[in-house]
Structure formats: C-alpha cells, structure tokens
Chains A and B, each alone.
Chain A
C-alpha cells in the first residue's frame, strides 16, 4: 500500500516533465552538451516504452550491461582462477601439511621417549641383577675363604697342639727320668741329716728304685 502510493506520486509527475525523472531535467537546464547524454536516454525511454519504463526492464541498456558484466566478471573470474584460488588453496594446504608434519614429529618423539624409557628400565633391571650376582659371588667367595681360613687355622692349631703335646710328653718323660736322680739326691740329703753320716749311694739308689716301682 505504501509502495503504490509512492508510485502514484511519480506516475503523474512523469508526463509533466517530458524527460526521464531524476537527473535528466537538471542536465537539460544547465548545460546542453552534457545534458544531451541524459536526454538521449530520456528520449530512448519515451520512444520505446513511454515515460514510465521501469529502469531494470529497459532493454536499451541490456547490451551495455552484458558487455561490462562480461568484461568485469571475466576479469574477476580469471583473477580468482589464476591468483586467489591457488594462493588460498596453497596457504590452507601448507598449513594442513605443517600440522600433519608436526603431529608426526610429536608421535615420533613420543615413541622415541617410550623406547628410551624401555631401554632405561631394561638396563636398570640388568644392572640390578648384575649387582645381585656380584654380591652373591662375593658372599660365596667370602664364605669359602672364611671356611678355608678356618680349616687352615684349625689344622695349624691342631698341629701346634700335637707339637705341644709331644713336647709336654718329652718334658714329662725327661722329668720322670730325672725324678730318680732328684729322689736319690733328696733321699741322700735326708739320710745324711738323719744319720749324720754319709749313706751308701747304692743303697739309696736301690731304695728309690724300689719305691718307684711300688708307686
């Protein structure tokens, strides 16, 4: 309803001014050469379709519109096809590649780290078992050595014991051997004291020997 009223405003206005509505009258009054262009269009309007031709349906402008559309859109299409599309496509592809590459790199580093951890743990386990072995061997060796030492010391001690026993036996035998003489000397001294004279040595000897055998 608003539109139709607006239309009604222009419809009667058109016959009043013979030229096209808008700039054409201004051009007419001011400068003839500049106005010619406008009046031409105005005349074309009137000649073919009458004063109220709706501009978008005015066929006189169609060739010019098509020509300039072909020129401008053709150029635009060429520019898009040759420059912009490959460029933007390249940017996007480059970014995509870069991200994929970075992800690959990250995955590679992760697997490397995993391998390193695995190797480390393996080596740690190996070192631990090796240390255990060394300790075991050392313990064994120490035990054997201690046993051997003890055996040697025991053997030595036994030897020394035997030697001591032998020497004690010898000393004892020697002592026993001297016992007769000491007893004779002691007995002769005692007899001397008792009888106040010299006792016969042979008698004492015999008496001691008799006592000895009795004992």
Chain B
C-alpha cells in the first residue's frame, strides 16, 4: 500500500463545503493551489519590492521571467498580442510553480489533475474565441480558411482546420497533465523499488542501487519536464493568441 504510485494523486477534503448538493470542499488540491499562488505571487512581490535600478539576485529572476514571457509573446503574437501579457505571464508562473512544488516529496501536484489543466486550456481557447470574435467579428472565421487553397480542396481543408482547432484545448491540457502524471508515477515506482528491494536483505540492498540511481536521474529529468511543460504551455498559448490577434495572416 505504501508503494501505491497512484495514491499521490488522491484528493482528500480538508474543509468540507457543500453548496446546492455539489461538493465544493477545500481539498489538498485547493491547498496546493493556494500554496502555488502564494509562492509565485509572494516571490514576485518581494523580489521586486526594492525596485532597484541595479537588480539584486531575486529581482533579476523576476525580471528574467518577465522578459522571457514578454519576448515569447512578442515573437508569437506580435506587439498587438502584448495586451495578453498578464494572462500568459500568470499562466506560465502558475503552471511552473505548481509543477515545481509538485517535485517536493509528499506534496500534491496541482497540474496532475486533468480538470485543472483542462480548465486552464479552456481559459486560453475561450480568450482566443471571445477576443477573436469581439475584435474581428465574422472575419475571425477566416482562421479556418487558409488562403491559396484550390476550391475543390477547400471543404476538406476547412474541416481539418476546424478539427485541429477543436483539438487544441484537449492537446494543450492532456500534454501537461500526462507529463506530470506519468513523471510522478515513474518516480514513485522506481523509488518504491528501492524500498521494497532494500527490505530483502544484503542482496536486495545491492540490487536497490540501480533503481536508486534511476530515481536520482529521473528526479533531474522531472525538474526539466516541470519547466519544459510550463514553457510549452506558454508558447502554445502565445501561438493560439496569435490566431485571435491576426486571424487572416499566418
């Protein structure tokens, strides 16, 4: 039971809340959402509170993450896309902090819940749709009609474009969710081998060295994945927002 690799994703209620027969309890997932926001916002707030002309170490990190996302968004969606900067920056910092907090043993990984990543993906796609139709009206539908396609192929291409657009929230959410879930399960399984082999005596302890090395290597890999998935989420968000800003041109 101690080796159950799924147990880490179990949600347990801390403060039970029920409104209209629906369960809105404050759970361990909620607790780590709060922790994520507190860590990310607290760091950014205190790191930049000096407003130094010459930045200190933590202010540099805050400025670097700001410029990192700003550059990404400007490259992906042009200068018109910069109005979405707070959204992309919040998404990146939230996902990154949640992923990184998840790397602590016994901590809950907020982004390993499909509903959380799906809600974030829907937020992105919803923003694209709302802004696209608000800004361009029905011209936004040009997004699905690439220019320079022969008339006979057009229905097929439009159908493919619509399907690919609809699959975006799914791929965006499943990519993040699956990466975090799979990584944490793998880590837990290999770490579990260390414990169960170690309890078998001298030979087992010798054999446990291999999964231990594997666990250490995987931990490093998982830190990379934690950053990379936050980065990928932000890059794709920028690309999708580009469709809302410039639906015609590619």
Which residues of A approach B to under 8 Å, CB–CB?
2-3, 6, 9-10, 13, 20-23, 37-38, 40-41, 54-58, 60-70, 72-73, 75-77, 79-81, 83-85, 87-92, 94-95, 98
Contacts and interface: CB of A to CB of B under 8 A. Distances in A.
Interface string B42-53: 001100100111
B96 to A, nearest CB: 12
Given A9-B3, A80-B86, A80-B93, A69 B192 contact: no
A41 B93 CA distance: 31
Nearest to A57: B114
Contacts of B185: 3
B94 A76 contact: yes
Interface of B: 1, 3-7, 9-13, 16-17, 22-27, 29-30, 33-34, 36-37, 40-41, 44-45, 48, 51-53, 55, 59, 62-63, 66-67, 85-87, 89-90, 93-94, 112-116, 119-120, 123, 177, 181, 185-186, 189-190, 192-193
B37 A21 contact: no
A126 B37 CA distance: 74
A89 B120 CA distance: 25
Given A10-B4, A63-B24, A76 B41 contact: yes
Nearest to B196: A9
Contacts of A55: 6, 9-11
Nearest to B9: A55
Contacts of A90: 51
Given A21-B7, A76-B90, A91-B51, A84 B30 contact: no
Contact of B115 (A41, A62, A76, A77): A62
A98 B51 CA distance: 14
22 contacts: A13-B4, A21-B4, A54-B9, A55-B11, A61-B11, A61-B23, A61-B29, A64-B30, A65-B115, A68-B26, A69-B116, A69-B119, A73-B90, A76-B40, A76-B94, A80-B44, A83-B45, A84-B45, A85-B86, A91-B48, A91-B55, A94-B53
Contacts of B85: 85
A91 B63 contact: yes
Given A76-B40, A92-B67, A22 B10 contact: yes
Contacts, number: 162
A65 B7 contact: no
Contact of A72 (B5, B34, B45, B181): B34
Nearest to A59: B115
A126 to B, nearest CB: 46
A85 B63 CA distance: 10
A86 B33 CA distance: 24
B234 to A, nearest CB: 13
Contacts of A63: 22-24
Given A76-B37, A87-B48, A6 B90 contact: no
Contact of B33 (A57, A69, A80): A69
Contacts of B37: 72-73, 75-76
B18 to A, nearest CB: 10
Contacts of A20: 10
Contacts of A98: 53
Contact of A88 (B13, B66, B181): B66
A41 B33 contact: no
B5 A3 contact: yes
Contacts of B116: 65, 69
A75 B36 CA distance: 12
Given A37-B13, A66-B115, A56 B177 contact: yes
A10 B6 contact: yes
Contacts of A2: 189-190, 193
Nearest to A3: B189
